[in-house]
């Protein structure tokens, strides 16, 4: 997954017969904790991983966005700037065209672009390959226009591309993690306040590692379940008469739940309220250099996502259970769910054993072999 494997300048030269004006990149992410809270004003705690979307880019005057991707070798795809609008482009090119569109909507001047893309962020693994691509494109468009955007602005534009152009109703976490993370820390993002804080996160210093296990069950946020979870949260907000679920307090939870009309809605709300509380507890432990004590909170998050929010699946559950049985201090699904990846916090000395145990458990069940990778907090989007 190393960015060093990427030679996007060579792809640019071969495709456009000139040198790029710059190279820009943005990372994928895992979320340590704070899942399905970012569209209710909640708290999230992701970090960028050492897998990036990389773009070699040049400005042109031809009124076109011309793009080529190392993941989809073949002809250069060309889209006229004049016709850029939601619905005008589909497939992988929509993520790129949508990010250009959103950047222009935000006031960035563009007269034409040539872009060569490559990425080491696996797609469909729940590691935010699309957010990485969107943030890298927004950074490239702004960089070529000589405009410097704050990370939160890059994230806001990239999220708009995903929501309004690609048509996926995601919250702000993934783009913010990609744009604003810093190496060596997790990003505490308060989605209600719109503020971020970098909290040092160095599992290695405590003899620990974070493993990502990609179940290879491909998830799609566009398939309706994600939107249904959002709709449930909005319904609860209406019934309870609050502005956002973030306004609900853990110590009033019993009363809040009693005011809701059905069990499903009660479970959805219970997940969101308890998950925000777990983020606060993890942050307190990290600030107190007690990283080895966060494991139970990670696992409790998984249980809540599985039983209350109903966004897990058999492969994610088995990966978590087997990782815990093999020595992980805590494990949970990360990202939107319905497939994708888990993270496990493991003593570094047991990391290989935990990975092997999950691989063996999948083989026993006849499932596609999962991919296990160690991750550590990497830098956010940047001009390379
Ligand atoms: C996906 C979404 F894109 C995020 O906004 C977030 O809601 C996440 O699922 C769940 O925490 O990654």
68 domain-assigned:
yes
- Going from the Cα of 118 to the center of ligand 1, the distance in angstroms, rounded, reads 23
Asked whether residue 257 falls in the same domain as residue 110, the answer is no
- Going from the Cα of 204 to the center of ligand 1, the distance in angstroms, rounded, reads 27
Compute the CA torsion angle 326, 329, 335, 340 (nearest 10 deg). -10
Interface predicted TM-score (ipTM) of this complex, two decimals: 0.99
pLDDT tops 80 at residue 287: yes
Token readout for 357 is 């145990």
User: Looking at the 3D structure of the chain, how many domains does it have?
Assistant: 2
Please identify which of the residues 174, 251, 308, 310 carries the catalytic annotation. 174
- Taking alpha carbons only, the member of 384, 380, 382 closest to residue 29 is 380
For 214, the domain range is 202-375
CA distances, 46 to each of 88, 160, 183, 192 (Å): 32, 20, 12, 16
- Taking alpha carbons only, the member of 128, 163, 103, 151 closest to residue 53 is 128
Q: What is d(CA 93, CA 280) in angstroms, rounded to the nearest whole number?
A: 38
CA distances, 76 to each of 70, 116, 137 (Å): 11, 9, 16
In ligand 1, the atom with minimum distance to the C-alpha of 126 is: 12
380 domain-assigned:
no
216 domain-assigned:
yes
In order, the DSSP letters of 149-177 are --HHHHHHHHHHIIIIII-----SHHHHH
Pick the residue whose CA is nearest to atom 3 on ligand 1.
170
381 domain-assigned:
no
- Taking alpha carbons only, the member of 167, 184, 55 closest to residue 121 is 55
pLDDT band of residue 2 (cuts 50, 70, 90) is: very low
pLDDT tops 90 at residue 283: yes
pLDDT band of residue 72 (cuts 50, 70, 90) is: confident
Percent of the chain residues past pLDDT 70, beyond the cut: 98
Residues near ligand 1 with C-beta < 6 Å?
35-36, 38-39, 170-171, 173-174, 221, 335-336
- Taking alpha carbons only, the member of 278, 258, 279, 281 closest to residue 269 is 258
In ligand 1, the atom with minimum distance to the C-alpha of 173 is: 5
pLDDT tops 70 at residue 281: yes
Asked whether residue 233 falls in the same domain as residue 293, the answer is yes
Query: Can you give the CATH number for the domain in which 220 is found?
Result: 3.30.70.890
pLDDT tops 90 at residue 3: no
Asked whether residue 230 falls in the same domain as residue 185, the answer is no
Asked whether residue 336 falls in the same domain as residue 360, the answer is yes
The pLDDT of residue 100 = 98
pLDDT tops 80 at residue 341: yes
Neighbours of 308 (CB within 10 A): 19
Are 24 and 383 in contact, with CB atoms under 8 Å apart?
A: yes
Please name the helix (run of DSSP H) or strand (run of DSSP E) that holds residue 246, with its range, or none. none
Pick the residue whose CA is nearest to atom 9 on ligand 1.
336
For residue 305, how many C-alpha atoms fall within 13 Å in the half-sphere facing its CB? 32
In ligand 1, the atom with minimum distance to the C-alpha of 131 is: 3
The last residue of a domain, from among 198, 229, 260:
198
pLDDT tops 80 at residue 78: yes
Asked whether residue 258 falls in the same domain as residue 317, the answer is yes
DSSP, res 365 = T
pLDDT band of residue 1 (cuts 50, 70, 90) is: very low
- Pocket residue to mutate for ligand 1, from 34, 170, 227, most atoms within 8 A of Cβ: 170
Asked whether residue 237 falls in the same domain as residue 137, the answer is no
User: Looking at 167-207, which runs of residues are DSSP E strands?
Assistant: 185-190, 195-200
Asked whether residue 13 falls in the same domain as residue 34, the answer is yes
- Going from the Cα of 334 to the center of ligand 1, the distance in angstroms, rounded, reads 9
The pLDDT of residue 221 = 62
35 domain-assigned:
yes
118 is catalytic: no
Residues forming a β-bridge with 211: 344, 374
Asked whether residue 34 falls in the same domain as residue 147, the answer is yes
- Going from the Cα of 163 to the center of ligand 1, the distance in angstroms, rounded, reads 12
Q: What is d(CA 40, CA 247) in angstroms, rounded to the nearest whole number?
A: 9
- Pocket residue to mutate for ligand 1, from 36, 133, 155, most atoms within 8 A of Cβ: 36
Mean per-residue pLDDT of the chain: 96
Mutual angle of helices 225-240 and 263-287, in 10-degree steps:
90
Query: Can you give the CATH number for the domain in which 188 is found?
Result: 3.30.230.10
Q: What is d(CA 131, CA 373) in angstroms, rounded to the nearest whole number?
A: 20
Conformation bin of residue 24: beta by default, left when phi > 0, alpha when psi is -120 to 50: beta
CB-based burial, 341-358: b 16+ in 10 Å, e otherwise: bbbbbbbeebbeebbebb
Asked whether residue 270 falls in the same domain as residue 359, the answer is yes
The last residue of a domain, from among 163, 198, 233:
198
In order, the DSSP letters of 73-133 are EEEEEEEEGGG--TTS--THHHHHHHHHHHHHHTT---S-EEEEEEE-SPTTSSS-HHHHH
Give the N- to C-terminal CA distance of the chain in Å, as an integer: 17
Are 292 and 313 in contact, with CB atoms under 8 Å apart?
A: no
pLDDT band of residue 6 (cuts 50, 70, 90) is: low
Asked whether residue 328 falls in the same domain as residue 269, the answer is yes
153 domain-assigned:
yes
Neighbours of 137 (CB within 10 A): 32
- Going from the Cα of 12 to the center of ligand 1, the distance in angstroms, rounded, reads 32
In ligand 1, the atom with minimum distance to the C-alpha of 128 is: 12
- Going from the Cα of 335 to the center of ligand 1, the distance in angstroms, rounded, reads 5
- Pocket residue to mutate for ligand 1, from 123, 335, 337, most atoms within 8 A of Cβ: 335
Q: What is d(CA 262, CA 271) in angstroms, rounded to the nearest whole number?
A: 15
382 domain-assigned:
no
pLDDT tens for each residue of 147-166: 999 999 999 999 999 999 99
Mean pLDDT of 341-356: 98
Backbone phi, then psi, for 298, in 5-degree steps? -60, -45
122 domain-assigned:
yes
In ligand 1, the atom with minimum distance to the C-alpha of 44 is: 11
Asked whether residue 132 falls in the same domain as residue 230, the answer is no
The pLDDT of residue 161 = 98
The last residue of a domain, from among 134, 165, 198:
198
The pLDDT of residue 173 = 98
Asked whether residue 83 falls in the same domain as residue 221, the answer is no
The pTM of the full predicted model, rounded to 2 decimals, is 0.97
pLDDT tens for each residue of 201-239: 999 999 999 999 999 998 776 579 999 999 999 999 999
């Amino acid at each position: 997954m190393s960015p060093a494997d990427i030679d996007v300048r060579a792809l640019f030269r071969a495709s456009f017969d000139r040198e790029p004006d710059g190279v820009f990149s943005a990372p994928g992410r895992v979320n340590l904790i704070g899942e399905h809270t970012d569209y209710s004003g909640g708290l999230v705690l992701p970090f960028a991983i050492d897998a990036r979307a990389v773009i070699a880019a040049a400005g042109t005057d031809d009124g076109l966005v011309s793009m080529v991707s190392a993941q989809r070798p073949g002809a250069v795809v060309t889209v006229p700037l004049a016709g850029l609008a939601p619905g005008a482009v589909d497939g992988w090119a929509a993520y790129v065209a949508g990010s250009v569109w959103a950047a222009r909507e935000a006031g960035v001047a563009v007269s034409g672009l040539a872009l060569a893309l490559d990425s080491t962020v696996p797609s469909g693994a729940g590691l935010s390959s699309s957010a990485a691509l969107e943030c890298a494109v927004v950074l490239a468009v702004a960089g070529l226009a000589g405009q410097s955007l704050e990370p939160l602005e890059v994230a806001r534009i990239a999220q708009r591309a995903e929501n309004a152009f690609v048509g996926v109703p995601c919250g702000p976490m993934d783009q913010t993690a990609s744009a604003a993370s810093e190496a060596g820390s997790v990003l505490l993002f308060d989605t209600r306040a719109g503020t971020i804080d970098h909290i040092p996160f160095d599992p290695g210093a405590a003899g620990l590692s974070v493993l990502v296990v990609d179940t290879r069950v491909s998830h799609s946020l566009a398939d309706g379940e994600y939107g249904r979870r959002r709709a449930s949260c909005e319904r609860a907000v209406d019934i309870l008469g609050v502005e956002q679920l973030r306004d609900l307090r853990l110590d009033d939870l019993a009363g809040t739940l009693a005011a809701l009309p059905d069990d499903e809605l009660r479970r959805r709300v219970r997940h969101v309220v308890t998950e925000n509380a777990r983020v606060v507890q993890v942050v307190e432990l990290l600030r107190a250099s007690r990283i080895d004590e966060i494991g139970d909170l990670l696992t409790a998050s998984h249980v809540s996502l599985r039983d209350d929010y109903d966004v897990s699946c058999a492969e994610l559950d088995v990966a978590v259970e087997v990782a815990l049985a093999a020595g992980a201090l805590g494990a949970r699904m990360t990202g939107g769910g319905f497939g994708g990846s888990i993270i496990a916090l493991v003593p570094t000395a047991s990391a290989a054993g935990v990975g092997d145990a999950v691989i063996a458990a999948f083989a026993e069940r006849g499932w596609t072999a999962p991919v296990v990778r160690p991750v550590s907090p990497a830098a956010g989007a940047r001009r390379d």
